[in-house]
Amino acid sequence: MISSDQTIGLYRLHFTQVDSTNIEAKRLLDKGEAKEGLVITADLQTQGRGQYGRVWESEIGLNIMMSVVLSPLFIKVADQFALNILTSLAVADVVNDYSESTKVKWPNDVYVKNKKIAGILIQNYIQGNSIRHSIIGIGLNVNQSTWPDDVPNATSLYLESDKQLEKEIIIRALCQKLDERYKRLPIDSKSMFSEYQKKLFRRDELSIFEKEETQLEGTIKGIDDSGRLLVDHSSTIHAYNHGEISQVI
């Protein structure tokens, strides 16, 4: 059961099939029918997307596809990467219960070893200098064991723990961890920022990146205050915005 003093997950909608939980959340926001903390889940998304418009591959009913509606007016536009931090860390909290070596691949994918187990898509809606609404979409692989050939580096909680899991238990855990971190954020953002830095996938390891269809080597050193990725290229640190560079796995 969701505690009555918990914001995230207190209100819930579930669909057998929907175009996208994020799209449905936006529809409800536009109609004024989405309370803060509303969680929307689905067994199947026909238009599910991840970062950069990529399709999110998921077999029907095996994984978690959910969206959370927040109204984080206390977050300034310049600090909006805090939502990426709290969400990716909350998902990693849950994954850690079933697996080891959980990392966050910038900006907010969750990896186990070298395989992706969760993706996050955050859509913010601005009011003045603050975030009026945020829709946080989460795709977490739970019981799926195989993927198409063009998805070569995926894993799931089932593959990592060697047991089929009850999705509802995972959803409740996600809601709890998200709620805890969301309520901590106004007073504890610095410690979460530090925690995110420590969890960065392949930090301080030489990696290959793609930038404008060109490959280059570099070493991730962390992120700056605005969430830009700091990469050391031959002893020169470059700061990259989301979409300017991608890490080759």
Rounded-to-integer distance, Cα 32 and Cα 105, Å: 34
At 102-130, the pLDDT tens digits run 999 999 999 999 999 999 999 999 999 99
Which residues 6+ apart lie within 8 Å of 195 measured at CB?
89
Question: Tokens for 58?
Answer: 């998921």
At 159-187, the pLDDT tens digits run 999 999 999 999 999 999 999 999 999 99
Domains in the chain: ranges and CATH: 12-199 (3.30.930.10), 206-248 (2.30.30.100)
Rounded-to-integer distance, Cα 139 and Cα 129, Å: 29
Residue 46 is predicted with a pLDDT of 87
117: three-class secondary structure by DSSP: strand
Rounded-to-integer distance, Cα 133 and Cα 101, Å: 33
At 184-204, the pLDDT tens digits run 999 999 999 999 999 999 999
